[in-house]
Amino acid sequence: MNWFAKNVLLLNLVVLIGALAWIHGGTRPDWLLLVIPWLTLPVLEWLLVYPQVKKNETLLDARRRVWRGLACDPLTYLGVLFTVMLIIPLFNVAEAPQVVVESGEWVKPLPPVPWLPFCTDPSMHGLLPLWFIPAMITVLAAKHGLLKKGKRVLLEVICWNGGALAVLGFIQLWSGTDSIFWMTPMPAYFFSTFGYPNFAGAFFTLTFAVSFGIWFQQMTEASELFSENLQAMLEPPSKLQSNRMLLPTALCLAAAVTTLSRAAILLCAVLVVVFLLYALFYTWKRMPVGLRVVVLSSIGGVLFAATALFFAFKLEELKEEISTITVEAVTERVTGTGKGYYHTRVAKEIWNDYPVYGVGGLGYRAYLLAYITPEEEDRLQTIGGVNVHNDSLQFLAEQGVVGFGLMVMFALTLFGGMAWQVFAFCRAKRALARSRKLSPRGWIYLIPPPTVAVWAGTTATVCHSFGDLPFRSPAVLAV
């Protein structure tokens, strides 16, 4: 089998994930409809026909392994159920709520089949299949169709793609353009291909975390600090090769801050502190005294330089955004209890009236005015006011407990499976050490750094979703 046939699934996954980020962060439905289905279907085809083949198996054996894995994987059935739930509303359409002029009361028409999922606008609801189906197929393809090396390569490519998008964003800022790709005018601040800064902030925060995890693992292996990679121990890579992921790490971190997303700035600051403490704890015992002094001095120097640059240059917009990050502001945003926050109440009331299936994809905007009080009409949010800015509440209002439950079960099954694999791996390594009468390593040294970084980045994105809508960006979903 030639190289292309062995890696056609990996290549197609790279193109699909990259396209979701480069097509305006996945927020241009007209372009998505023309491109994404034709990239998603081949991924499904290659997964079933041309998965990556292990050394001691034939292509037919690899296909059987993948088919058997898909048949036994709960994610497959959860994905199928969620896909069916997303498709049904396209054919079960209700009219949008209407106000009776004489009485001022709102009438909410029922769909043709009231006991099935419905929507009020198929063109809006149709975005959800374009968001979630590619993401779910990507998960299944990467889990069952790629070997370990292929998964590592895919993660690295995702990080380098984030670095390339960061460079594009910096170039656009330097040029002073007000248009994405110098072609699509934007009415407000944007960064890279993302018209909404919080989408960009969530994307670059996540890619920063993943990039750091890969770099830290490669660096510790090259430095012979708790390496589990026998090949890296026998054939140590060059300094350039072992530190190559430092570039996308720095680019994505800088990009996350440059998006001026307050959530991204706050979460990146937290992640930097967490990763710094994790790295020091992970390597401290194996560091010579001289290296410890160098590391601490370097950390201090970097922090001092960053602080000096922040005050030396006129970064007024960044300083203004940072000044608004307070405990009170974060609490109000997450809980929706601040002055003028009516979205939380409206979303809860919509879910209370349509608890099972919700009102369909992006149906919140159609039902919003029907739940607004006269006092709130005078302070309606005009920019971004068609979203709840809380993913959990908006998905509950639009997909109900069934749809949101399927989403949560998919995520918990995916990460629960990862956690169990990591636990089994660590337990086996400790048992092996005891059988050889060696002192077993602590758990923190056995969990691969990329796994820790992925968990940390995903946790940051989930936290972000409590005060905004990062999971409504296909670029973030795909990563």
Query: What's the pLDDT tens digit per position in 297-329?
Result: 656 655 665 555 555 444 555 555 555 555 555
Total domain count for the chain? Answer: 1
Q: Would residue 358 count as lying in a domain?
A: no
Amino acid present at 449: P
Cβ atoms of 19 and 474 closer than 8 Å: no
Cα 208 from Cα 355, distance rounded (Å): 37
Kindly tell me the sign of the dihedral angle through the C-alpha atoms of 145, 160, 252, 215. Answer: positive
Can you give the pLDDT at residue 305?
A: 55
Using CA atoms, how far apart are residues 102 and 334, in angstroms rounded to an integer? Answer: 38
Phi, psi of 336 (to 5 degrees): 70, 30
Residue 367 lies in a domain: no
Beta-carbon contacts of residue 36 (< 8 Å; ≥ 6 apart): 16, 19, 20, 23, 130, 134, 474
What was the pLDDT predicted at 192? 86
Task: Count CB neighbours of 131 within 10 A.
Answer: 25
CA distance 34 to 49: 24
Q: Which among 125, 136, 42, 139 is positioned nearest to 91, based on CA atoms?
A: 125
Q: Are 133 and 44 in contact (CB under 8 A)?
A: no
Give the angle 301-307-311 at the CA atoms, nearest 5°. 145
Q: Torsion angle of alpha carbons 205, 209, 214, 219, nearest 10°?
A: 110
Domain-embedded: residue 368:
no
CB atoms within 10 A of CB 73: 18
Q: Which residues of the chain have pLDDT under 70?
A: 1, 223-239, 285-340, 382-385, 433-443
- The predicted pLDDT at position 6 comes to 82
Separation of alpha carbons 468 and 455, rounded Å: 20
The dihedral region occupied by 395, where left means phi > 0, alpha psi between -120 and 50, and beta the remainder, is alpha
Q: Residue 203 has which token pair?
A: 């994307």
Predicted local confidence at residue 73, as pLDDT: 92
Residue 138 lies inside a defined structural domain of this protein: yes
Q: Does residue 55 form part of some domain?
A: yes
CA nearest 132: which of 359, 403, 389?
A: 403
Q: Identify which of 419, 412, 413, 410 has the alpha carbon closest to the alpha carbon of residue 448.
A: 419
Query: Considering the domain boundaries, does residue 157 fall inside one?
Result: yes
Residue 454 domain-assigned?
A: yes
Do the beta carbons of residue 346 and residue 371 sit within 8 Å? yes
Alpha helices for 176-288 (secondary structure H): 197-222, 230-234, 239-242, 246-258, 262-283
Domain that holds residue 463: 3-340+380-478
Q: Which two tokens stand for residue 270?
A: 């937290």
Strands (DSSP E) along 30-75, which ranges? none
Residues with Cβ within 8 Å of residue 49, at least 6 apart in sequence? 63
- Maximum Cα–Cα distance across the chain: 85
Residue 264 corresponds to which tokens in the numbers above? Answer: 């991204």
Instruction: State residue 87's pLDDT score.
Output: 94
**Among the listed residues 136, 119, 110, 139, the one whose alpha carbon sits nearest the alpha carbon of residue 399:** 119
Rounded to 5, what percent of the chain is helix, strand, coil? 70, 5, 25
In a domain, 305, yes or no: yes
CA–CA distance, 193 with 145 (Å, rounded to integer): 30
Residues 116-141 have pLDDT tens digits of 999 999 988 988 998 899 999 999 99
| H/E element, 146 | none
**pLDDT at residue 388, as a whole number:** 85
Measured distance CA(358)–CA(350) in Å, rounded:
8
